A and B are shown apart, each in its own frame.
Chain A
Amino acid sequence: MIEVKGLTKYFGPVTAVNDISFVVDKGEILGFLGPNGAGKSTTMRMITGYLTPSEGTALIGGKDIVSRGLEARQSIGYLPENAPVYPDMTVLGFLNFCAEIRGFSGKDKHHRVEEIIERCFLSEVRQQSIDTLSKGFKQRVCFAQAILHDPPYLIMDEPTDGLDPNQKHEVRTMILEMAKEKAMIISTHILEEVEAVCTRAIIIAEGRIVADDTPKNLKGMSRLHNTLSLDLEAKEGVDFQKELSTFSWIREVEALGARGGDEAVLRLRIRTGNPPWDPERELWRFCCQKGWTVVSLFREEGRLDEVFRMITAPDRGN
């Protein structure tokens, strides 16, 4: 369990992180969201012991990162931002070094390193010096370093930053594979990633936690949540908005204009008040009765990016 208690960091007069507390249990993948400069990396650096907190502390499996830093760090795997690795070393040399520092030796070390090279798809570059590798490989080398000792706590700062879509998918698959037996914190500003892997998301802005919930509930905060999106074939002389407003459970019908440049199709967004159990079906039947051609009809789940903007930059609105 990772327990973060009132972490605070001042850089001179600036408060980079302001009284952040949360708990991550085994099996949880916590997504750490926030605009650039919100304090994500600083928080992670404090949890991993790179920076000393100005106030507060974090307990890693019950061990205080400030007073028992060495023990706490033993059970953490950390992938820093931009995946720093030694350019002059070979992949094998670097991973051997990490294994030695983590206390493996002899055959045990050999097996560990070989296994991790397999797992992170590094076999073809094992003897190559790291500065000759592409960004994706470097990221994987650093990722390998973080999971080498099979740590119960994994902290990753933008693990998929700079990777191509295939590589992103690979990294996410690996994260999900490990999810059951670990507690993980992942920072990212790719919102689809949060939906894809995280069981919970914390949004921070200006050093404070502004939201802490599951990605699904966060989406529920969206203004679009549970609105119906209805595309109809345009019909001369029919005012769709007015006709639809006759339903008691429809609060507002907003015309969004022609759909994607197709003049013949009108897009309507319908905000519901107290909808029946199955508003889509009811709406569909109504349109059929009227003889309108429905091109598409679906219920919006809400968008994380909209919620993100709403929470982190409320003045700029939409």
Chain B
Amino acid sequence: MSLKHVKAIVKKELSGYFGSPVAYVFIVIFLLLSGFFTFSVSRFYEMGQADLRAFFEWLPWIFLFLVPAVAMRLWAEERRIGTLELLLTLPVSITELILGKFLAAWLFICFALALTFPLVITVTYLGDPDMGPIFCGYLGGVLLAAALLSVGSMTSSLTRNQVISFILSVVICLFFTLAGWPPVTEAISAWAPAWLVDLVAGFSFVTHFQDLQRGIIDLRDLVYFASVVFFMLFSTAVVLDNRRSL
């Protein structure tokens, strides 16, 4: 694998994001939504607490819809306009392509996430927050984005239709999110044994994201996110390879 190739692909992808309205629409909507939920719905000011819990609690739900919207074009668009043929006949490996595209989208979302820095400034101005959980919360957000993106990359490789890719990936991500959401785990625990509840919750993005959000960096959570990303990107490679030898 050549880093030069990956770098070239990342550059090309990013120039594609910022060369079209996608990037700007995404960033504006993301910032508007996160601001709205943090300040208006969760009543950030009224709570009177110097932390970003209100923001991080909403983050998985905002990401649930916005990240698949970024990921849906990864492969479906290339297939639709025919440039996939160009890409796959260049002397690059599928691994380089998948990594390059994934990294570019990830960097882009991290950039959008970084633009929420006024929140951090606000809490440090208003109070004396514990920076640990805030840092971990952002780390969690970055990992969560990676996991959602990898799911989106897989669904995008399945089809030339971006809408189908989007819906599929939202549904899969919704499952991963809901599995650990308290109302759902409570409903399951009413009839299922505890180990099953834990197993289902263990698959959830939210469970692992919450640990980080509380300021705990647990190796298990990191391994979880890494394995989701690895598995989904590997599936992407399998799908793309299968399409070739259809």
Interface presence of B219 (CB below 8 A)? no
Assess whether B86 is in contact with A73, with CB atoms less than 8 Å apart. no
Q: How far is the CB of B4 from chain A (nearest CB, A)?
A: 7
Assess whether B88 is in contact with A49, with CB atoms less than 8 Å apart. yes
Fill in one digit per residue for B56-91: 1 if any A CB lies within 8 Å of its CB, else 0: 000000000000000000000000011101101111
CA gap between A159 and B246 in the complex, in Å: 26
Which A-chain residue is minimally distant from B243 (CB atoms)?
Answer: A51
B119 partner residues in chain A, CB cutoff 8 A: none
Assess whether B89 is in contact with A73, with CB atoms less than 8 Å apart. yes
A142 partner residues in chain B, CB cutoff 8 A: 86
Interface presence of A82 (CB below 8 A)? yes
**Which of A45, A86, A98 is in CB contact (< 8 Å) with B90?**
A98
Chain A residues 25-64 with CB under 8 Å of chain B are: 45, 48-52, 54
Assess whether B85 is in contact with A80, with CB atoms less than 8 Å apart. yes
**Count class of interface residues, chain B:** 20 to 34
Chain B residues 34-75 with CB under 8 Å of chain A are: none
Which B-chain residue is minimally distant from A99 (CB atoms)?
Answer: B8
Chain A residues 75-107 with CB under 8 Å of chain B are: 76, 78, 80-82, 84-90, 93, 97-98, 100-103, 105
Assess whether B15 is in contact with A103, with CB atoms less than 8 Å apart. no
How many residues of A are counted as interface, with CB atoms below 8 angstroms from the partner's CB atoms?
A: 35
**Which of A45, A88, A90, A98 is in CB contact (< 8 Å) with B20?**
A88
Q: How far is the CB of B15 from chain A (nearest CB, A)?
A: 6
CA gap between A121 and B15 in the complex, in Å: 24
Chain B residues 162-219 with CB under 8 Å of chain A are: none
* Given the contacts A50-B88, A51-B244, A88-B16, A80 and B82 also touching, CB distance less than 8 Å: yes
Interface presence of A272 (CB below 8 A)? no
A51 partner residues in chain B, CB cutoff 8 A: 244-246
Q: Is the interface of B mostly helix, strand, loop or mixed?
A: helix
Q: How far is the CB of A67 from chain B (nearest CB, A)?
A: 14
Chain A residues 211-241 with CB under 8 Å of chain B are: none
Assess whether B91 is in contact with A86, with CB atoms less than 8 Å apart. no
A88 partner residues in chain B, CB cutoff 8 A: 15-16, 19-20
Q: How far is the CB of A141 from chain B (nearest CB, A)?
A: 11
A50 partner residues in chain B, CB cutoff 8 A: 85, 88-89, 244
B238 partner residues in chain A, CB cutoff 8 A: none
Assess whether A89 is in contact with B15, with CB atoms less than 8 Å apart. yes
Assess whether B91 is in contact with A74, with CB atoms less than 8 Å apart. yes
Assess whether B4 is in contact with A82, with CB atoms less than 8 Å apart. no
CA gap between A281 and B245 in the complex, in Å: 61
Which B-chain residue is minimally distant from A52 (CB atoms)?
Answer: B245
Which A-chain residue is minimally distant from B2 (CB atoms)?
Answer: A103
Assess whether A73 is in contact with B90, with CB atoms less than 8 Å apart. yes
* Given the contacts A11-B246, A105-B4, A45 and B85 also touching, CB distance less than 8 Å: yes
Assess whether B85 is in contact with A101, with CB atoms less than 8 Å apart. no
Assess whether B246 is in contact with A102, with CB atoms less than 8 Å apart. no
Q: How far is the CB of A99 from chain B (nearest CB, A)?
A: 9
Which B-chain residue is minimally distant from A97 (CB atoms)?
Answer: B12
Which B-chain residue is minimally distant from A87 (CB atoms)?
Answer: B81
19 sample A-B contacts, Cβ–Cβ < 8 Å, listed by A number: A45-B85, A51-B245, A70-B92, A71-B91, A73-B91, A80-B85, A84-B83, A84-B85, A85-B86, A86-B16, A86-B81, A86-B83, A90-B19, A93-B19, A97-B8, A97-B11, A97-B12, A100-B5, A103-B4
Beyond A80-B86, A87-B81, 9 additional pairs, beta carbon < 8 A: A48-B89, A50-B88, A70-B93, A80-B85, A88-B16, A93-B15, A97-B8, A101-B90, A102-B90
The 7 closest A-B pairs by CB, nearest first: A84-B82, A52-B245, A100-B8, A88-B19, A74-B91, A73-B91, A97-B12
